[in-house]
Structure 1
């Protein structure tokens, strides 16, 4: 099966990292078409996956765009659609990995007469998308997609609640290569020393700096923990969220936590940094479609505290392979952090459980096998 993968981003986010793993088995008979240039193209090339940037003109539609803004983008889509159609004729299947890719892929599917798969990495809800974008995504998927792969039951349920056809959907979780999360104890020790945290209880937070990602909740919880508890914030502000970063620094100063919070910015050494932590927190205030960082921490053998909403509740069983806390409740989060600090034996047991379960449940080999099966069994001939 020859597959044309489509993705809107030039930067590697969670959906893009997932696409790399999905495309690898097909790399001798596939092409990834991007709607923007950037570091994601480089990552694909490093993994020997054929890639082509179809346009260098940004598509001026965002998740909260209204109808007029969406209509205004149609003119710039025409050359892009034409290029995708030209390419799609050479392949058996169009695989749209993002919402903008769905829009272009749906039109190309009609014109090139190729079946379309939509990989849903989002919770399609008013909290994240405008009404216009919700209607567009659901209607296009209903009309043109032969299959909608949802990355969690939460994503699937939101799609159906928004009007999506349930019979189109199947749930397949994101896949991971466990070997990538194996680290050296000596290197971890050196990293902790370089960061000045060798004698601290380190709580890591791995996400872009954004209000709904909830870094402010961790900071407030930190103020309710003993002085040896230190937080590492790994990630940058994107999409004009620099004002939130200023607010975080103001909050830290007001609470007197300047020596207990470290901003590390964007880092490529995520497994190593996770290994340097004693605990990893996930504090999103709105439901996550999946929660990639949760599984990554598990694979690193670290206990995870996750916000009890969305896909996270499908990944974490409280007290068995991690902890769940009410979103937006810093005191509850602080209590769990303190209990992990006090009961190291139980915390280690939970971390070991998490690593064993995640290594099997989310192994990329098993996940890719599931994807191959549904592509073969559920797709219809256009």
Structure 2
């Protein structure tokens, strides 16, 4: 089975990292077509996955685009659509990994007469998308997709509530290679020394800096914790969100936390940094489609406190393999951090259980087998 994967991004995010794991078993008979150049292309090449940048023209449609903006973008996309359609004739399946890829892939699948698979990595709701984009995504998926793979039950539910067909939708969680999340104690100690947090209780937050990711909630919570509690923020702003970063720095100054909150920017050593933490916080104020960093922290044998919404509630059992907190409630988050600080033995037991359950539930080989069976049924 030969697969043409499509993705809109030049930068690796959660959906792109997921695509790498899915494409690896097919790398001798697949192509990843990108709609932008960048570090994601390099990452695919490092994993020996064939990749081609299909266009250098920026796709203007955004999550909040209205009808006229969306229609105007479609008229500009004709050359890309025809190029994808011609390329797709050499493959058995078109696999659209993002929403913009769905728009291109849907029309191309019709022209090339190839089945379309749409991997849904978003919660399709008005919190994140304009009504126009919601209608476009749902209608294209209903009309052209043979299969929609939702990355959580929360994503599937939102898709169906928006008018998506439940009968073509299957939930398949992201897969992970547990071996990539093993760090030696010596390496962890060295990194903590480099960060200057040897004697601190470190709370890590791993995501892009964005209002809906809720870094400001964590900062407020840190201010309500003892002085030995410090935070590291791993990630940076994207999509014109630099104003939010300025607000975070102002918040830190106002609360007198300059020595207790560290901005580390984008990093490639995420498992090592997670291992250097005592607790990992997920603080999104809107429902998360899946929550990749939650599983990554579990695999690093770290306790996680996650916002109780969306896919996170499918990953974390409160008090069993992690903690759940009300989204946006910094005081509640602070109470959980303080509990973990005061009872580190129980926290370690929860972290150990988290690693065991995550290794079993999200093993990449098992997840890829699920996807392979679904793709095989589409290609028949």
Paired residue secondary structure (2:247):
helix
Tell me if structure 1 keeps the 8 A contact 2:92–2:379. Answer: no
Structure 1: distance between partners of 2:256 and 2:29:
56
Q: What is the aligned partner in structure 2 of residue 255 from structure 1?
A: 255
- Distance in 2 (CA, whole Å) between partners of 1:121 and 1:329 is 26
Q: Look up the match of 2:98.
A: 98
1:71 Cα deviation (Å)? 1.0
Match of 1:139 in 2: 139
Cα distance in 2 between the residues matched to 1:175 and 1:159: 21
Residue of structure 2 in register with 1:15 after alignment: 15
Identify the residue that residue 332 of structure 1 maps to in structure 2.
Answer: 332
Per-residue CA distance 1:151-172 (angstroms, 9 max, x = gap) = 0000000000000000010000
Asked if the contact 2:295–2:315 (Cα under 8 Å) also holds between the matched residues in 1, the reply is yes
1:114 matched residue in structure 2: 114
**Count of aligned pairs between the two proteins:** 380
Give the match for residue 194 of structure 1. 194
Alignment partner, residue 67 of structure 1: 67
Find the aligned partners of 1:118 and 1:212 in 2 and give their Cα distance: 25
Residues 320-363 of structure 1 show CA distances to partners (whole Å, capped at 9, x for unaligned) of 00000000000000000000001111100000000011011101
Contact 1:14–1:292 at 8 Å: present in 2 too? yes
Partner deviation per Cα, 1:134-177 (whole Å, 9 max, x = no partner): 00000000000000000000000000000000001000000001
Distance 1:160 1:208 in 2: 28
Q: Deviations over 1:277-324 (max 9, x none)?
A: 000000000000000000000000000000000000000000000000
Matched with 1:300 is 300
Aligned partners of 2:93 and 2:379 also within 8 Å: no
Query: Which residue does the alignment assign to 2:29?
Result: 29
**Can you give the 5+ residue segments of structure 1 that lack an aligned partner in the other structure?**
none
1:286 maps to 286
Aligned to 1:354: 354
> Partners of 2:4 and 2:229 in 1: how far apart?
48
Give the Cα–Cα distance (whole angstroms) in 1 for the partners of residues 194 and 76 of structure 2.
48
Deviation at 1:375, TM superposition (A): 1.4
Q: Give the Cα separation in 2 of the matches to 1:167 and 1:360.
A: 27
* 2:373 is the alignment partner of 1:364: no
Which residue in 2 is equivalent to 1:317?
317
Q: Distance in 2 between matches of 1:358 and 1:264?
A: 26
| 1:343 to 2:352 alignment | no
Structure 1 stretches of at least 4 aligned residues deviating more than 2 Å after TM superposition: none
Matches within 5 A, 1:39-188: 39-188=39-188
Contact 1:138 1:159 (8 Å CA) reproduced: yes
Residues 44 and 50 of structure 1 are in contact (CA less than 8 Å); yes or no, is this contact kept in structure 2?
yes
With normalisation by structure 2, the TM-score equals 0.99
Indicate conservation of the 8 Å contact 1:146/1:380, yes or no.
no
1:225 is matched with 225
Unaligned runs of 5+ in 2: none
* Contact kept in structure 2, 1:102 and 1:118, CA below 8 Å: yes
In the TM superposition, what whole-angstrom CA distance separates every residue of 1:221-244 from its partner, at most 9, and x where no partner exists? 001100000000000011111111
TM-score (norm: length of structure 1): 0.99
| Distance in 2 (alpha carbons) for counterparts of 1:74 and 1:154 | 29
CA displacement at 1:380 relative to structure 2? 6.0
Structure 1: distance between partners of 2:101 and 2:256: 46
The alpha carbon displacement at 1:76 in A equals: 2.1
Listed as ranges, the matches of 1:196-211 within 5 Å are: 196-211=196-211
